[in-house]
């Protein structure tokens, strides 16, 4: 009885049904894995695009804020810089910034010093 069972198993594995079932399962698993990898790749690309967008957004937001701060200070600042140069001995920070930094920083610190 046991030998008959073993013989039936050998015949089943030698038959084409086993290989058809195996190939269908293998093909299904392969397609499923490829589909899963495609979805992961698309999600990764979407995440990269979102990161690039956020970096550019915050870069341009910061740039615009700096420009919004810088240009009014440049417009208002010529008289402020002249006042700072006349009164620089009253404020150590203003003197330091007048010597070591560019004009928007000079203007900002001088406005803070002498306001």
Question: Is residue 7 domain-resident?
Answer: no
The pLDDT of residue 106: 57
pLDDT band (50, 70, 90) for residue 60: confident
Q: What confidence score (pLDDT) does residue 37 get? A: 95
User: Is residue 11 over pLDDT 90?
Assistant: no
Q: Is residue 80 part of a domain?
A: yes
Residues sharing a CB contact under 8 Å with residue 87, sequence separation 6 or more, in sequence order: 94, 114
Structure confidence at residue 99 (pLDDT): 63
Decide if 90 contacts 113 (C-beta within 8 A): yes
Flag whether 9 is in a domain. Answer: no
- Between helix 92-100 and helix 103-113 the angle, nearest 10°, is 170
Mean pLDDT of the 39-67 span: 88
If one counts the domains in the chain, the total is 1
Query: Is 4 contained in some domain?
Result: no
DSSP calls for 31-75: HHHHHHHHHHHHHHHHHHHHHHHHHHHHHHHHHHHHHHHHHHHHH
- For residue 100, give its domain range: 17-113
Kindly state whether residue 90 falls inside one of the protein's structural domains.
yes
């Amino acid at each position: 009885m046991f030998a008959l069972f073993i013989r039936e198993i050998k015949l089943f594995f030698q038959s084409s049904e086993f290989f058809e079932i195996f190939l269908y399962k293998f093909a299904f698993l392969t397609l499923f894995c490829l589909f899963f990898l495609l979805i992961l790749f698309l999600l990764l690309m979407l995440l990269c695009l979102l990161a690039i967008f956020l970096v550019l957004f915050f870069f341009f937001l910061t740039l615009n804020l700096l420009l919004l701060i810088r240009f009014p200070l440049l417009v208002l600042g010529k008289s402020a810089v002249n006042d700072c140069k006349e009164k620089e001995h009253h404020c150590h920070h203003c003197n330091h910034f007048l010597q070591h930094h560019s004009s928007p920083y000079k203007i900002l610190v001088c406005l803070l010093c002498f306001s």
